[in-house]
Each structure stands twice: as structure tokens, then as C-alpha cells.
Amino acid sequence: MPEPGAVACVMPGTPGRWPFAGHVRGRWEAGPVQIAWAGRLAHSALPDEAWEAAQALRDVLATVTGDGRFDVIARAWAAVGTLPERWKTREDLCLLFAAADPAGILLSAAGVANVYVEATPGGWVAAALSGSPLYTEPGVPERAPVPQPSLRPGTRFIGLPRDVALPKPKDLALACGVRS
């Protein structure tokens, strides 16, 4: 089981003037259960509207709790389904969840092309095979995506949106705003 506070998710900024517009990151833990998320919504909107969309996503995810990794991911997707209609219909949501309990770590995502795990310090590798159910089109899914285990051990994950080019491996964390 990961150490308390160890599970983390990040997402690269979108190239442009406001690279992290509409981005959100967060985590919750209670006892042995942890969930972390990173995502973006309305990233192509003007900053005020993107901030409002990100705040709506933060608000619905702030209510998430659960009794295990499967339960907390299911509840997180149910919370996303309660977003105001204005944000659900944009079809540009990109979101990655990583949930852990004593039995392991599961990933679940929407709108990502790749998910990477930090297998060694600064060494990012694919967390899922190409064609994985993790890789879906952007938008709020009609049904919760099926959670998948990571192919490699690790607790820090990067979700790469479909419209963001893959940075060089050494620049991957930096593209996500991670400076350490």
C-alpha cells in the first residue's frame, strides 16, 4: 500500500497563452483509502470561464469519499456526472483518477491519450498499453470508465490529453508544472 499522501496525479498544460486554464488537481484520503485526480475542463475558454469550469469540477470532486479504491473511483465519476449541464455538454473534459487502498492502485480516465507512472525518480513510463480502456475521447462519459491497474508500480501519474504533444521524457513533469 502506498504511504499516506503518496498518490498524486498531474496533467500537462495546454500550449498557448494560458497553459493551465481550466486545470484542476486534488486528492482525498481517509485511513487506507486515497484518491488523487488531475484534469481540465473548458481549457480553450477565456480565463474567467475556464476558472469557473475548473471550480465547478473542484466543487463536485470535493464531496468524494469511499470505502476502497473501486468504490472511491465509482463515487468520483458519479460526482463528475453532477456537474452543471453547461460544463457537461462541452465535451472537452480530460480527467485522470488514481485510487489506492491496501490491495493496490487503480486508474480511471476520460479524454487522455496516454498515462505515465513515475517508475523511478524522474523516470516516467507508460502505465497502460495502447488501446487500453483508459484512453477515451474527451467529455463526461455516459457511464463510468472501468478502472484499470497500472502496468508498473508507482504512485505519481501523468495524464496526457489527446491534443497535447508528448514532451521529451525528461520534460514530462516540467510540462505539468512540477518543479521538483
Residue 180 located in a structural domain: no
Total number of domains in the chain: 1
- What is residue 166's predicted lDDT score, i.e. its pLDDT? 80
Domain extent at residue 153: 8-175
Closest Cα to residue 43, out of 30, 31, 57? 57
- What is residue 88's predicted lDDT score, i.e. its pLDDT? 83
Residue 1 located in a structural domain: no
CATH number for 42: 3.60.40
- 16 — pLDDT class (breaks 50, 70, 90): confident
Which one-letter amino acid corresponds to residue 39? G
Residue 3 located in a structural domain: no
Rounded to whole angstroms, the Cα distance separating 129 from 52 reads 34
- Give the pLDDT confidence of 149-162 residue by residue, as tens digits: 988 888 899 999 98
- What is residue 177's predicted lDDT score, i.e. its pLDDT? 81
Are 38 and 25 spatial neighbours (Cβ–Cβ below 8 Å)? Answer: yes
Q: Note every long-range contact of 131-135, with CB atoms under 8 Å and residues 24 or more positions apart, other chains counting.
A: 134/107, 134/108, 134/109, 135/109
Question: Mean pLDDT across the stretch 134-163?
Answer: 89
- What is residue 165's predicted lDDT score, i.e. its pLDDT? 83
pLDDT at 75 over 90: yes
- What is residue 180's predicted lDDT score, i.e. its pLDDT? 61
Are 110 and 95 spatial neighbours (Cβ–Cβ below 8 Å)? Answer: yes
pLDDT at 12 over 80: yes
Residue 2 located in a structural domain: no
What value does the mean pLDDT of the chain take?
Answer: 89
Residue 133 located in a structural domain: yes
pLDDT at 1 over 70: no
- What is residue 6's predicted lDDT score, i.e. its pLDDT? 85
pLDDT at 32 over 70: yes
In the chain, % of residues over pLDDT 90: 52
pLDDT at 73 over 80: yes
pTM of the model as a whole: 0.93
- Give the pLDDT confidence of 78-113 residue by residue, as tens digits: 999 999 988 888 889 999 999 999 999 999 999 999
